[in-house]
Amino acid sequence: MVISNLEKYKNCFVEAFALADGAQAESLKYQSIQEWDSVGHMALMALLEDNFGILLDTDDIIDFASYEAGKEILRKYDVAM
Amino acid sequence: MLLHEKTAIITGTNRGIGLATLEAFAANGAKVYAHARRETPDFLALINDISRMYGIEIWPVCFDLTDYDAMKQKMKEIAASKRSIDILVNNAGAVADSSSFLMTSVEKMKAVFEVNFFAQMALSQYVARMMMRNKRAGMSIVNVASAAGIDGDPAQVEYSASKAALIGATKKLAIELNGYNIRVNAVAPGVTDTDMVSAMDEGLMRRTLEKTVMNRKAQTGEIAGAILFLASGLSSFMTGQVLRVDGGM
């Protein structure tokens, strides 16, 4: 089964923050839940890098402030959703 | 074999302490990404010789540390290789022409800080993130500071201050990266027999050495030994420390 980039993206949030399902991820912002603290943030970045085979710039890691912002950032790395 | 099945990145391996560290790591079984500013035939021949001598893999990784785009590109290539990085040795450094504090421009200070501190931090960010993803035991970052970063002498203000900054970062990184099984320590060499030190004023050199118990320069292998110790499991309960290797200053 081929998983779309969007599903992979959501799954990273589910795994990083132990969410019940991907739908919960869509409204998330940095520090909007306890799990998305600075440690959780780096766990999320690691999952995204692993799953999409990219190496994020430090500035993009800092700017990755929400689920939606992250989609825009990943476009810079040719990850279309 | 203190570093069996470990993979390391060492900066500034074309001469001096970096070259001695490359040899020490190779002799102890580590595979190494050997950094140098330029990929010259001499450098490639050098690492090829060491690779054959010890029967381990050494990959050249060449870029100017102040060229952050080139650094990122090389780190992407290393990440894409899927080899787990266990050790980073931030060895490469720069020293400016000798001058007193009052005769040193801020631009000159910034140029030294760029190599000795900011580039090391940028590289450490990339490598620490690769290490975090590995989730392996016994990972280590070793920063090559200087006794001058503690004592303020014998070096110019920008060199001493940049190494002091590296020592401060060593302590903070040790705290922040501990949760990812990454230890962070520094060595602080005294006067060492390198090209960089050969440009030192003779009188200052003599006065500095006379202050030491052993009254001689360190050989590069003696500093590499301390780096090897901090990179290996022998120092598994050490983090955030600065190990002076200075002949007893």
pLDDT in tens, A27-75: 999 999 999 999 899 999 999 998 998 999 989 999 999 999 999 999 9
Measure the CA–CA gap between A33 and B218, rounded to whole angstroms. Answer: 53
Measure the CA–CA gap between A69 and A64, rounded to whole angstroms. Answer: 6
Q: Among A37, A38, A42, A78, which would you mutate to test the B interface (most chain B Cβ atoms within 10 Å of its Cβ)? A: A42
pLDDT in tens, B120-164: 999 999 999 999 988 889 999 999 999 999 998 877 899 999 999
* B216 interfacial to chain A (CB closer than 8 Å): no
Average pLDDT over residues B44-58: 97
User: φ, ψ for residue A4 (rounded to 5)?
Assistant: -70, 160
Sort out which chain A residues have CB atoms less than 8 A from B176's CB and list them.
Answer: none
* B71 interfacial to chain A (CB closer than 8 Å): no
Please give the mean pLDDT across all residues of chain B: 94
* B25 interfacial to chain A (CB closer than 8 Å): no
Token readout for B60 is 């050249």
Q: What are the catalytic residues of B?
A: 159
pLDDT at A63: 95
pLDDT of A15 strictly over 80: yes
Measure the CA–CA gap between A36 and B75, rounded to whole angstroms. Answer: 26
Taking an 8 Å cut-off on Cβ atoms, the answer to whether A55 and B125 are in contact is no
pTM tops 0.80: yes
Neighbours of B27 (CB within 10 A): 17
Q: Domains of chain A, with CATH numbers?
A: 5-75 (1.10.1200.10)
pLDDT at B117: 97
Residue type present at position B84: S
Taking an 8 Å cut-off on Cβ atoms, the answer to whether B75 and A53 are in contact is no
pLDDT at B186: 98
* A62 interfacial to chain B (CB closer than 8 Å): no
By three-state DSSP, how is residue A6 classified?
Answer: helix
Average pLDDT over residues B23-35: 98
**B113: confidence class by pLDDT, cuts 50, 70, 90:** very high
Taking an 8 Å cut-off on Cβ atoms, the answer to whether B79 and A55 are in contact is yes
Taking an 8 Å cut-off on Cβ atoms, the answer to whether A45 and B125 are in contact is no
Residue-by-residue DSSP string for B92-121: ----PPP--GGG--HHHHHHHHIIIIIHHH
